[in-house]
Amino acid sequence: MMGAIGCSKKSRLILGTTTSLYDTGLWDYLKPKFEAKCDVRLDIVSGGSGQALEMGRKGDVDVLAVHSKADELKFISENYSEERVPFAYNYFIIVGPESDPAGLKGLSPEAAFKKLADNPGIGKFVSRGDGSGTHSKEKAIWKKAGFDWETSKAGWIAAGWYIDAGQGMGATLTMANEKQAYTLTDEGTYLAYKGNLSVVPVISSGTILLNVYSALVCTNGHNPKMGQKLVDFLVSDEIQQAISDYKKAEYGKSLFIPCAGNEPAA
């Protein structure tokens, strides 16, 4: 892990971040620590990872904190950033009604998705449908299950069991709860919203469910030096411990597991 960092000169930094990091309150927790350490104003724009990466391409943000590895590598290949630095991870889970009407418990994520698609009517599924990291992971699971999401979704929607929310993770969880449907979510956001939900984890194991959060300094940004300071901040000993401790006492486990620049194994 990296040690303490130092900053000087008051400036402004714009961060584009995924909703799962924002909706859990993690950035509300980290923001004053970074502002105090670096004497900077940190402005945060929250959206899906796809939306955040697009803001990076346009030069609307200086640094990103996202969770869509394939899209991040593409972003780097297009010369919009020089590297992705993993700083934390957790896992995606599939949640649904406690009664599990589709009988998905015990299945792999891929087998669960295949069962829903092959048996319309046994259970509803709510998709983020917003180009986010979570949505990208959903599409990857569909692909592993033998389906092409792009060509299949219209038929699924017409059949009435697949619902395209087009919203953030918190809103999608709320919709799944209201409709007593299944959905894919990162575990951190689920834990943060758990008190207002009746849907429960149905599937929480499978290597495809690994969810890594990375920071990328944008070459199109206006403050790359301060952007790098934020990356260094995230992987510093002090903040890695703070990420590990965040709401751990409240939920009985860490919402995010620190990884200090190292790609975690599934």
Quick check: is 54 in a domain?
yes
Cα 42 from Cα 40, distance rounded (Å): 6
Per-residue model confidence as pLDDT tens digits over 176-208: 999 999 999 999 999 989 999 999 999 999 999
Quick check: is 229 in a domain?
yes
Q: What is the pLDDT of residue 2?
A: 42
As a three-state string, the secondary structure of the chain is CECCCCCCCCEEEEEEEEHHHHHCCHHHHHHHHHHHHHCEEEEEEEECHHHHHHHHHHCCCCEEEECCHHHHHHHHHCCCCCCCEEEEEEEEEEEECCCCCCCCCCCCHHHHHHHHHHCCCCCCEEECCCCCHHHHHHHHHHHHCCCCHHHHHHHHHHHCCEEECCCCHHHHHHHHHHHCCEEEEEHHHHHHHHHHCCCEEEECCCHHHEEEEEEEECCCCCCHHHHHHHHHHHCEHHHHHHHHHCCHHHHCCCCCEECCCCCCCC
Residue 265 pLDDT level (bands cut at 50, 70, 90) = confident
57 plus 112 within the same structural domain: no
Quick check: is 263 in a domain?
no
Mean pLDDT of 251-257: 92
Instruction: Report whether pLDDT(93) > 60.
Output: yes
Query: Which range marks the domain in which residue 84 is found?
Result: 11-89+210-258
Residue 1 pLDDT level (bands cut at 50, 70, 90) = very low
> Which of 172, 189, 209 delimits the end of a domain?
209
Quick check: is 171 in a domain?
yes
Locate 216 and state its tokens. 């990328």
104 plus 117 within the same structural domain: yes
Q: What is the CATH number of the domain that holds 221?
A: 3.40.190.10
57 plus 105 within the same structural domain: no
Cα 182 from Cα 195, distance rounded (Å): 17
Task: Choose between 4 and 225: higher pLDDT.
Answer: 225
Domain total in the chain: 2
41 plus 171 within the same structural domain: no
Instruction: Report whether pLDDT(154) > 90.
Output: yes
Quick check: is 265 in a domain?
no
104 plus 181 within the same structural domain: yes
Quick check: is 195 in a domain?
yes
Quick check: is 3 in a domain?
no
Per-residue model confidence as pLDDT tens digits over 32-61: 999 999 999 999 999 888 999 999 999 999
Quick check: is 264 in a domain?
no
Locate 192 and state its tokens. 């943060």
pTM of the prediction? 0.87
